[in-house]
Structure 1
Amino acid sequence: MINSLLGVVLVVVTVFCVPLALVEKQSIVNAANNRVDAEAVRVLGLVESRLAAGEPVTGEKFATQVTTGSFVTVDIPGQPLIAAGRPVDGPAITATEEGASGETVTVSQSREDVDHEIGNMLLLLGVVALLAVQAAVALAVWQSKRLARPLTELAETAERLGSGDPRPQGRRYGVPELDRIAEVLDTSAERIARMLTAERRLAADASHQLRTPLTALSMRLEEITALAEDPATVREEATIGLQQVERLTDVVQRLLTNQRDPNNPTAVSFPLDDVLRQQVEEWGPTLREGGRRLDLDGLRGTRVIGTPGTVAQVLATLIENSLMHGAGTITVRVRRSGTSVVTEVQDEGLGVPAELGNRVFERAVSGRNSTGIGLAVARDLAEADGGRLELLALHPPVFALFLSQSRSTD
């Protein structure tokens, strides 16, 4: 840009200054010639007026009429050549005029003043041209920096995006093309940030949600190993293990489905008792080892609308939360509330601290130094399945899963 702008300015200065210098030089020379011609005409008039009056054209009075710097000669027929002024040394500008009586006046002036004036004119044009070039260089440097800085910052932004830093800059530069690029990069940064957040969230949710099925599956395999001599027990435990695998597959599928399309409906009508029995079977051994138990209370034979795997995962999260942070007997109670079926999970522990309240459903919020992901994921799963998860009481803690009641009787 500097070279281009400088080249344009040099061309313009050359095209402009060279003709201007030639015209000005010719104008100065013409002005000097006109001055000498005027001086010759003036002296000729003096000579003719003296001759008409019968006065002599010699003497000091005539010499005083000659302009300083001019050398004048007067040639009158029948008289000696008359000269006034100082002869010119070097190049001179000369003008000759003839009178009616045959007299001839010649005026000469030195070209030194003319050459000096031409030199001053050329010097002035040179200074102007130099200032124009310097101004062009300064403008080019400023403009190049004005464009180079945004380009450098945009390149750094692109580099950061490629390095996994999707923070948008939000900078604009007043240049439409550069602002458009910056806007596209900021939009891409926001999109990449959302994608990375979703991927991290999926990884965290998957690791947390898969932990419970894997733990249960591991327990079933241990039961099979311990009871390898009893084929009937092995068959029963293997069947439960296969159910755990199916549940694990359903959890993975559900997480991926929610990741791709959170609004994808998968709810069906199913008996809630099947899910409750499944939870009793899965958590029974663990609770017995800890000296605790799981009781079922309330309605039986109800059908709800939802996804069995999702409902099981939500209830498993609530039971696991009671197992880790609560105490005593865990009670799972089913009741109706309007058109909804409410499944409550309650234990006999200290409950939820008052300062947390419903914030227990926020990610990274925990009252027992845990990950703070389980309840947040459980609420997301419940809402994605058309239900909702609420904290009804702090002491004792009562978590409630609200599901739509099915009117189907099959």
Structure 2
Amino acid sequence: MRGRLTLAFACFVLVMTAIGGGVRINALADVARMNELAGLTTSAHLIGTLVEDLHADGVPVTADRLAAYVPDETELTVTHEGSAAVTATGEGFDAAAADEPTSVEETVGSTTIRLVQDASVLDDATREAQVPLFFLLAVLVLFAGLVGFVVASALARPFNKLAESAAALGRGRFDFEPPKSKIPEVVLIANSLSTSARQLQDSLQRDREFFHHASHVLRTPLTGLRLELEELSERPDLTDDVRRSAARSLADAERLEATVSELLEFARARSLVAGAEVSLMRLGADVAQRWRDRLPESREVRAYVDGGPEFTLTPGPVEQLLDSVLRDVSDHGTGAVTLRFAGQEELVKVTVRSGPGRRGAPERPSAQVAHTIAEVLGGRCTGDATSGELEILLPRR
């Protein structure tokens, strides 16, 4: 995104500078032409005055005498009443190469002066006036690219943060922090992500409450009914028909209880975010690397997977919980940190060990947050990472 914004900004400035530069280049060409015409006109007037004075003094006007007054790369033609035209050529004048020469004609008294300038003089003057403009345009484009890069980086930064937040939500994390920005689109997307996170977290909480409620409401009556039917079927005073009916009812109750258990287990085993599961081995490696990046280099971080490395689970809840533990260990613990992961059929066990805690440490809100998150996720935390070991049990879901 940043590269596209930079390119768009630079292209916009390039188009604007090209339009303005084209107009300015044409204007400079016209200015150079007018300057050359003005210079030739002045020279022609001076030469005409000189020729008039020579004729008044009776001095003959020859090409050699005029050669000293002819500008370089210019041809001079002098015509006086009653005299033949005299032509003198300045140094460097090339009549054959002059495609569109610049010429002026002035009359002073009885003398007509015509100056024809080589086109290369006007070309050189135009080029000399345009080169600084080309340099300025190039600097403007480079400056626009730099400004565009800075502006694009500032504009893209909150969107990159939004992408990270969306990726965290896709991994099952609900504690991400949306970017703070005054851009309306960023605010709208951030609010939508926060709302989605709250809704998903509420849905997870309702599902967990439903599992517990359904397990209690369905299994308890079915268990009581099965026990009643078993007791009824064992009574000696029953007729054969009643005994067979009780046996059939008992079999139906057992099948219903098995079906309820199967449905609850299926619901409990569903992934929190479909498609976001990672193996326990990868989760352990990612968490350990994040801890190494955040803790000082003096505090070594070691991670082990003691069992079930191929088990898959949604990483977000575990990352969210372990980040709270990390903050507590970073603020109040010392020494190396050891992480042990063990996967089981329904649970994931994480053990965190750190060095002894600092004396006189204040209250530890991060530790309380870790216990709260574990309870919300349907697990539990026992122990303390800074005074022994912290054991975390979480459902694989």
Q: TM-score, normalised by structure 1?
A: 0.44
Higher relative contact order (CA 8 A, sep 6+): 2
Q: TM-score, normalised by structure 2?
A: 0.46
